[in-house]
């Protein structure tokens, strides 16, 4: 094998670190920051990198990062036919003291007897087993700690609780908030610990919207944590706090020993009890499955979702405004503050669909369900832009999927742009909204008149539901966005004297723009990223080529066809479509450039 052409391997290390930084950024990994710091220091390092020691001397390069680069170097040498540099072999594995002793023993193996080697190997193996892997236990009064206790206390039958249901009960057991606040750069909350609990096999999630429940092992641990609380919530004066596990969702380095969270008098007995529970659980698993396992393995089709009746007067009507619904950059909370000053109860949240909607909030449980009213607000200039870029039709389609019978489309005519050239398009869009989509259209002069409309509509909705009983449906089988609408329609037909509603969490989870989309919907959105492809054109193309693979395969099958015929494929397939649904030659060529070319 050949020697490497250069003893300084900095250029190779930089290439691999750049790729690692890109991969981490694409995955939204928290390690991306550290990788970029390390890459920056590596690029600024002026001395040659000729051995492992040189590499480890660079800031942000610990054992793991150095081992990562040396593994890459070993792969590179193997593929390219080079000899792995001897200077990088030394001390390549230095993870534990046991490894070092084993290496030393191997080095002198020619002078040692077989009995001595066997004894050394046995003692090192015993030491490794004795050390063992520390069992994960969430820190006292951390997010994971609170989640386990709430699931144990409020979900005895392991039917599962939603995120909102857990958060409502978790505050007394946790010192951190379960709500992130990006405005203050608090991107992580106590809820982030749920991912660690899932990775550790303590809780599982299933259904749509997601319901969380304890595993057998999680139940045993939660029982002990609940006992350590004395069967109830701890007061907030407890100083034995450690919330670090909330900040790093993907590892359990911040786990603590089970004895650390228990009162001194109970340490031994409860610790032994946890081990006993685990042994009994493993024995039971060998003979039979638990009731919960059978339910999860073979779920029966849902014929009737669990539901409850909210009597009139047990809930209050509230308006929820989208956080992106602003008057101007300098008046971001204009509508929220104005409505509160007028006595309208309102909240702000990033909504999955629409700019505002109305919810019923139970006076005791604080649970929220979505009522049959939603509103989309458009300034005239934004309406014109949305018609041009195709958002207008896409947003109307998403509003229709909510299954709501009272959809308001409010057009605010205050604008600083000259929209004379869009006048016909705007008139057409307004007519389509009223006649085609059957939305209620409201025209407003400015933000003040819009606020007045919000006030009057909210008062009307409050009066409407003052004597109405609500049927709160808690479906777990909303597998697609279409299921949300069909579920509402099914219950409306079956229970005409009641007002069926789905939970606010189900609304947010199911109707999120990027959630539960079918291949058809994703394909249509992909096509609409090409300039000139409107929603109508995208739907027609998708009708002829059902999936992206079908379109690519069609182009690939045209190997013996000249280039012009490939460019005009989409035009020829849609030539008989009426009006805006047909695709012209320029757009057809653009689609070919994006989907049909074999090389770029």
Write the DSSP assignment of 230-280 as a string of letters. Answer: TTSPPPTT------GGGT-TT--TT---GGGGS-GGGHHHHHHHHHHHHHH
| Highest mean pLDDT of the ranges 13-17, 123-127, 368-372 | 368-372
- Which pLDDT tens digit goes with each residue over 198-249? 988 899 888 777 889 899 888 989 888 888 877 644 444 343 443 444 433 3
DSSP-assigned states of every residue in 102-157: HHHHHHTGGGS-HHHHHHHHHHHHHHHHHH-PPPP-PPTTSHHHHHHHHHHHH-TT
- The whole-angstrom separation of Cα 531 and Cα 536 is 13
Check pLDDT > 80 for residue 92. Answer: no
- The whole-angstrom separation of Cα 359 and Cα 316 is 8
Of residues 4 and 175, more confidently modeled: 175
Least confident of 17-26, 30-39, 164-173, 415-424: 415-424
Confidence of residue 587 (pLDDT cuts 50, 70, 90): very high
Confidence of residue 104 (pLDDT cuts 50, 70, 90): very low
Confidence of residue 380 (pLDDT cuts 50, 70, 90): confident
- The whole-angstrom separation of Cα 370 and Cα 137 is 37
Residue matched to tokens 């001390």: 91
Which pLDDT belongs to residue 310?
93
Q: What is the mean pLDDT of residues 141-149?
A: 91
Which pLDDT belongs to residue 576?
85
Check pLDDT > 50 for residue 139. Answer: yes
Which pLDDT belongs to residue 417?
59
Q: Do 246 and 197 meet the contact criterion of CB atoms below 8 Å apart? A: no
On average, the pLDDT of the chain sits at 77
Q: HSE on the CB side for 303, CA within 13 Å?
A: 1
pTM over 0.75: no
Of residues 267 and 475, more confidently modeled: 475
Of residues 452 and 132, more confidently modeled: 452
DSSP code for 4? P
> Which helix (H) or strand (E) element contains residue 212?
strand 211-214
Check pLDDT > 90 for residue 256. Answer: no
Check pLDDT > 90 for residue 524. Answer: no
Residue matched to tokens 């039971």: 284
Of residues 593 and 422, more confidently modeled: 593
Check pLDDT > 80 for residue 53. Answer: yes
| Closest to 61 in 3D by CA, of 88, 90, 35, 30 | 35
Say whether 8 sits in a helix, a strand or coil: coil
Q: What is the mean pLDDT of residues 40-66?
A: 87
| Closest to 590 in 3D by CA, of 560, 570, 561 | 570
Helix %, strand %, coil % of the chain (to 5): 50, 10, 35
Beta strand ranges found along 391-537 (DSSP E): 406-412, 440-444, 470-473, 499-502
And the tokens for 55? 């590499």
Confidence of residue 185 (pLDDT cuts 50, 70, 90): low
Of residues 467 and 381, more confidently modeled: 467
Residues constituting the chain? 600
Which pLDDT belongs to residue 249?
37
Check pLDDT > 90 for residue 407. Answer: yes
Q: HSE on the CB side for 443, CA within 13 Å?
A: 8
Which pLDDT belongs to residue 242?
39
- The whole-angstrom separation of Cα 359 and Cα 319 is 6
Which pLDDT belongs to residue 317?
95
Q: What is the mean pLDDT of residues 100-118?
A: 42
And the tokens for 392? 């207008």
Of residues 183 and 562, more confidently modeled: 562
Say whether 517 sits in a helix, a strand or coil: coil
Which pLDDT belongs to residue 585?
92
- The whole-angstrom separation of Cα 44 and Cα 154 is 56
Check pLDDT > 50 for residue 296. Answer: no
Q: Do 367 and 360 meet the contact criterion of CB atoms below 8 Å apart? A: no
Which pLDDT belongs to residue 435?
76
Of residues 530 and 235, more confidently modeled: 530
Which pLDDT belongs to residue 515?
56
Of residues 142 and 93, more confidently modeled: 142
| Closest to 328 in 3D by CA, of 457, 458, 452, 446 | 446
Residues 535-547 as b or e (16 or more Cβ within 10 Å = b): bbbbbbbbeebee
- The whole-angstrom separation of Cα 176 and Cα 186 is 11
Q: Do 324 and 352 meet the contact criterion of CB atoms below 8 Å apart? A: no
- The whole-angstrom separation of Cα 475 and Cα 207 is 9
Check pLDDT > 50 for residue 442. Answer: yes
Of residues 512 and 468, more confidently modeled: 468
DSSP code for 568? T
Give the residues across from 308 on adjacent strands: 472
Check pLDDT > 50 for residue 414. Answer: yes
Which pLDDT belongs to residue 6?
59
Which pLDDT belongs to residue 1?
58
Of residues 274 and 48, more confidently modeled: 48
- Which pLDDT tens digit goes with each residue over 478-511? 877 788 888 899 999 888 888 999 999 889 888 8
Least confident of 5-14, 48-57, 133-142, 242-251: 242-251
- Which pLDDT tens digit goes with each residue over 315-336? 999 999 998 877 766 777 888 8
Which pLDDT belongs to residue 5?
54
- Tell which phi-psi region holds residue 201, choosing left (phi > 0), alpha (psi between -120 and 50) or beta: left
Contacts of 178 (CB under 8 A, 6+ apart): 143, 167, 170, 171, 189, 190, 191
| Closest to 584 in 3D by CA, of 509, 531, 529 | 531
Give the residues across from 473 on adjacent strands: 307, 502
Which pLDDT belongs to residue 416?
55
- The whole-angstrom separation of Cα 401 and Cα 488 is 11
DSSP code for 477? B
Confidence of residue 4 (pLDDT cuts 50, 70, 90): low
């Amino acid at each position: 094998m050949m020697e490497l052409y250069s003893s300084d391997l900095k250029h190779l290390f930089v290439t691999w670190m750049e790729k690692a930084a890109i991969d981490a950024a694409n995955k939204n990994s928290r390690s991306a920051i550290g990788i970029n710091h390390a890459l920056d220091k590596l690029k600024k390092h002026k001395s040659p990198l000729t051995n492992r020691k040189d590499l480890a001397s660079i800031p942000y390069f610990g054992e793991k990062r150095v081992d990562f680069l040396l593994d890459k170097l070993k792969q590179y040498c193997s593929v390219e036919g080079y000899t792995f540099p001897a200077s990088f072999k030394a001390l390549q594995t230095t993870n534990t003291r046991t490894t070092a002793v084993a290496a030393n023993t191997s080095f002198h193996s020619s002078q040692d007897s077989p009995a001595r080697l066997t004894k050394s190997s046995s003692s090192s193996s015993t030491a490794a087993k004795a050390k063992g892997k520390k069992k994960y236990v969430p820190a006292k009064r951390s997010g994971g700690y609170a989640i386990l206790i709430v699931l144990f206390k409020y979900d005895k039958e392991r039917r599962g609780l939603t995120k909102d249901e857990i958060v409502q009960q978790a505050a007394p057991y946790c010192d951190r908030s379960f709500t992130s606040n990006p405005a203050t750069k608090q991107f992580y909350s106590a809820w982030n610990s749920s991912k660690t609990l899932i990775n550790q096999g303590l809780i599982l999630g299933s259904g749509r919207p997601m319901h969380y429940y304890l595993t057998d092992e999680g139940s045993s641990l939660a029982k002990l944590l609940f006992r350590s609380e004395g069967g109830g919530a701890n007061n907030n004066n407890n100083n034995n706090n450690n919330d670090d596990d909330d900040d790093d969702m993907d590892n359990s380095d911040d786990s603590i020993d089970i004895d650390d969270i228990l009162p001194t008098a109970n340490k031994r007995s409860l610790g032994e009890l946890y081990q006993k529970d685990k042994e009994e659980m493993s024995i039971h698993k060998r003979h039979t499955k638990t009731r919960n396992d059978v339910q999860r393995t073979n779920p029966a089709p849902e014929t009737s979702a669990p539901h409850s009746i909210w009597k009139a007067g047990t809930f209050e009507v509230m308006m929820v405004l989208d956080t992106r619904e602003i008057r101007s950059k300098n008046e971001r909370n204009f509508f929220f503050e104005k409505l509160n000053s007028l006595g309208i109860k309102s909240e702000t949240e990033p909504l999955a669909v629409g700019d505002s909607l109305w919810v019923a909030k139970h006076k005791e449980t604080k649970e929220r369900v979505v009522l049959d009213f939603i509103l989309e607000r458009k300034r005239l200039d934004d309406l014109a832009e949305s018609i041009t870029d195709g958002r207008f039709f896409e947003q109307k389609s998403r509003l229709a999927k909510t299954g709501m019978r009272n959809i308001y489309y409010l057009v605010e005519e205050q604008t600083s742009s000259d929209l004379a050239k869009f006048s016909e398009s705007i008139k057409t869009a307004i007519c389509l909204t009223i006649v085609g989509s059957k939305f209620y259209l409201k025209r407003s002069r400015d933000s003040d008149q819009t606020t007045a409309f919000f006030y009057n509509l909210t008062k009307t909705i409050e009066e409407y539901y003052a004597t109405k009983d609500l049927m709160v449906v808690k479906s777990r089988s909303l597998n697609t966005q279409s299921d949300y609408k069909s579920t509402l329609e099914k219950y409306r037909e079956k229970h005409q004297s009641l007002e069926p509603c789905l939970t606010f969490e189900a609304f947010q989870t199911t109707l999120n723009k990027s959630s539960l989309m079918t291949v058809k919907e994703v394909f249509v959105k992909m096509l609409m990223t090409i300039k000139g492809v409107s929603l109508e054109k995208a739907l027609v193309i998708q009708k002829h080529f059902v999936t992206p693979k079908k379109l690519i395969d069609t182009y690939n099958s045209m190997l013996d066809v000249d280039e012009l015929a490939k460019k005009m494929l989409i035009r020829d397939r849609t030539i008989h479509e009426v009006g805006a649904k047909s695709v012209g030659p320029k757009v057809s060529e653009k689609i070919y450039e994006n989907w049909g070319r074999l090389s770029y």
